[in-house]
């Protein structure tokens, strides 16, 4: 176990940022902390780095209690959202910083520092920018310098705070792939914070979904997407139709009986049902209960808005499928639900 978080609590004034959080980070994995702003994910990451103090709980880094250690003693690499490069230093000096500030006895020779820094700059493909200043680099390049700088101290774990948050969409995607590949090459235990579910699902080995200072679910990207543990996770991950229903005898009914879906045996009475747009099947039927109220085509996909006995729903399919069905706005149709989840009313 690389990082063991138990019962970490953090309060900012009257705001509870973290509420007794337990989490295990496995050696060598790439873990995503995913949640909306204010969910406590960045606070948790900063506590791991020692940049924020926990009110209570315990944090073990590789089996060693770390809450009492200062950031410099923890040997973690930290990558900031806005890079936090030293603006008055060249790229080379930025990456060399962690090696140059070591106490005299543990410091490498100048030649060795130079060799290591250049090796890291090769790794992040910026060797020919060694003499530039951060202001002369693009956002993506700066973040790669920040990564090289964090790796220079040979950290036991790498912590990344919204590492792609300040980049534009295209660069973000490139850098994401690049980071995934880098992680496959060097296999350093890494935790990154993001509010972008697509980023978390694509990049991480495991995803931790957080909300209001608590962990809602921990699991592989497929697990959290296919089997959300709570209503929050269902709503936060991907598009979803959410509607009120009433459960009786293991069947949830909604839209005046137009929808009947099997429900978990533990739920009874008023409840909330979740259906992903791509789990909603449509077929043209003149006497069907649904009516197509709108169609939006986005790239290769089509989103079909349906009015089912007064209940607005959204279905998603590819454009080919839509043209096979031949649905047009105003058409009546039958609606069948392939997969749904029912949660009790909160």
**Residue number, 83 or 236, with CB nearest to other proteins:** 83
CA dist., res. 33 & res. 162, Å (int): 10
DSSP string over 165-189: TTS-HHHHHHHHHHHHHHHHHH--E
Query: Binding residues for other proteins, how many (CB under 8 A)?
Result: 31
The angle formed by the CA atoms of residues 310, 311 and 314, to the nearest 5 degrees, is 130
Q: How far is the CB of 159 from other proteins (least distance, A)?
A: 9
Among 84, 123, 171, 295, binds other proteins (CB under 8 A): 84
Q: Interface mask (CB under 8 A) for other proteins, residues 118-147, using x and -?
A: ---------------xxx----------x-
Residue 17: partners with Cβ closer than 8 Å, 6 or more residues away: 10, 11, 40, 43, 213
Q: How many CA atoms lie within 13 A of 206 on its CB side?
A: 15
Q: How far is the CB of 71 from other proteins (least distance, A)?
A: 5
Nearest of 218, 204, 158, 200 to residue 36 by alpha carbon: 200
192 near other proteins (CB under 8 A): no
Residues 38-77 that bind other proteins (CB under 8 A): 49-51, 70-72, 74-77
Q: Interface mask (CB under 8 A) for other proteins, residues 90-119, using x and -?
A: -------xx--xx-----------------
Q: How far is the CB of 274 from other proteins (least distance, A)?
A: 39
Specify whether the CB–CB gap between 260 and 252 falls below 8 A: yes
The angle formed by the CA atoms of residues 184, 185 and 191, to the nearest 5 degrees, is 55
Among 26, 28, 87, 174, binds other proteins (CB under 8 A): 87
Query: Do strands 189-194 and 30-34 pair parallel, antiparallel, or not at all (unpaired)?
Result: parallel
Nearest of 224, 133, 148 to residue 188 by alpha carbon: 148
**Residue number, 99 or 237, with CB nearest to other proteins:** 99
Q: How far is the CB of 323 from other proteins (least distance, A)?
A: 48
For other proteins, the binding residues (CB under 8 A) are 49-51, 70-72, 74-78, 80, 82-88, 97-98, 101-102, 133-135, 146, 149-150, 152-153
């Amino acid at each position: 176990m690389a990082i063991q978080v138990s019962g970490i609590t953090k309060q900012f004034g009257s705001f509870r940022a973290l509420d007794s959080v337990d989490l295990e980070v496995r050696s060598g994995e790439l873990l995503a902390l995913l949640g909306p702003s204010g969910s406590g994910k960045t606070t948790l990451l900063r506590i791991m780095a020692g940049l924020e103090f926990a009110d209570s709980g315990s944090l073990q880094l590789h089996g060693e209690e770390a809450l009492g250690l200062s950031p410099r003693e923890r040997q973690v690499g930290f990558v900031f959202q806005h890079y936090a490069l030293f603006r008055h230093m060249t790229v080379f000096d930025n990456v060399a910083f962690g090696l140059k500030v070591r106490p005299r006895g543990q410091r490498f020779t100048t030649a060795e520092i130079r060799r290591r820094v250049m090796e890291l700059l090769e790794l992040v493909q910026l060797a020919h920018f060694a003499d530039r200043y951060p202001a002369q680099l693009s956002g993506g390049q700066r973040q790669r310098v920040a990564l090289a700088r964090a790796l220079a101290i040979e950290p036991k774990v790498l912590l990344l705070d919204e590492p792609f948050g300040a980049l534009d969409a295209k660069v973000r995607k490139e850098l994401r792939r690049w980071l995934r590949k880098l992680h496959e090459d060097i296999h350093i235990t890494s935790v990154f914070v993001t509010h972008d579910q697509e980023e978390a699902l694509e990049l991480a080995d495991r995803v931790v979904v957080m909300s209001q200072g608590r962990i809602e679910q921990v699991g592989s990207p497929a697990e959290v997407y296919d089997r959300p543990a709570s209503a929050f996770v269902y709503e936060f991950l991907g598009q979803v139709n959410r509607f009120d229903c009433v459960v009786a005898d293991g069947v949830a009914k909604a839209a005046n009986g137009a929808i009947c879906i099997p429900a978990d045996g533990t739920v009874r009475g008023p409840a909330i049902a979740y259906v992903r747009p791509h789990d909603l099947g449509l077929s043209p039927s003149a006497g069907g209960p649904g009516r197509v109220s709108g169609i939006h085509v986005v790239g290769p996909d089509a989103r079909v808005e349906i009015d089912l006995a007064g209940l607005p729903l959204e279905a998603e399919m590819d454009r080919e499928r839509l043209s096979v069905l031949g649905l047009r706005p105003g058409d009546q149709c039958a609606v069948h639900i392939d997969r749904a989840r029912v949660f009790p009313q909160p």
